[in-house]
Amino acid sequence: MVDQAALDAVASPRRRRILRLVWEDELAAGDVAARFEDVSWPAVSQHLKVLKEAGLVIERREGRHRFYRANRSSMGPLAAMLERMWSDDLDRLAALAEEEAGIAEDTQDAAGA
Amino acid sequence: MVDQAALDAVASPRRRRILRLVWEDELAAGDVAARFEDVSWPAVSQHLKVLKEAGLVIERREGRHRFYRANRSSMGPLAAMLERMWSDDLDRLAALAEEEAGIAEDTQDAAGA
DNA sequence: CAGTAAGTTAAGTGCTAACTTAAACAGCGT
DNA sequence: ACGCTGTTTAAGTTAGCACTTAACTTACTG
């Protein structure tokens, strides 16, 4: 099922990054928050709440920790879409790296000439 | 390719409805706008612009008309997701109809008893 | 060319969503 | 009970988006 809440949740780049962090295995809220330089802990907590209410992550409480993991089975076509987006990102990064390598070569060539 | 612009475009229910209108065959901007009771022409025009800039619709100008149609081939996994959402909607409607029929029966039964 | 039809762009408004900091809550060790 | 760690909730600010009305463009028609 892909409902409005899930789509809204996934439309946010920040939440997609969070989702990717808890995609493979679960992570404590604090560990998720620690991965972001540019945003506060509460902001991350709020995003996790949105993701949870959209059914995209599952929360497990243990002591004073709360662990989150992606609820991939519930996401239907969204899961495929996200993985596709992330692999596209990697492709772009790789292309960029090659391009830069090309520029480096050119620079060398120019210096060599 | 599924980029941020496309995802944002599709996350809006209004734009999804527009997209569905031009999904099978092209429609003039005015014909699209005419389908909506609760929104002005310019609003629809703005949505069409967003969809166009996201690459989700294609514009064809002819005389004083502008025809739009969904650019399904460019949407990658989004196309499947949308069609899935729409078929889910139909399923829900059907379920609702059956449910109402059930209630009607119950009412009859109650009256009969 | 004047008039009109089809549509977009401009300008302004109100609502919502993401973020902030400060405060509160929950669980555990002492 | 007290304090510390992990995390959420509360309150407030700000930026952006969907919408509106008004003004503009473009193309056809007499």
Strand C contacts in B 74-103 (CB under 7 A):
none
Which nucleotides on chain D have any atom < 7 A from a protein Cβ? 5-10, 17-23, 26-28
Q: Which amino acid is at A67?
A: F
Please tell me the pTM assigned to this model: 0.83
The residues facing B57 across adjacent strands are B70
Which residues neighbour B43 within 8 Å (Cβ) at sequence distance 6 or greater?
none
Q: Residue A113 has what pLDDT?
A: 39
Q: Residue B94 has what pLDDT?
A: 81
Lowest mean pLDDT among A21-25, A91-95, B79-83, B100-104: B100-104
Give the mean model confidence (pLDDT) for residues B56-62: 96
Number of cross-chain residue pairs from A and B with Cβ atoms under 8 Å apart: 32
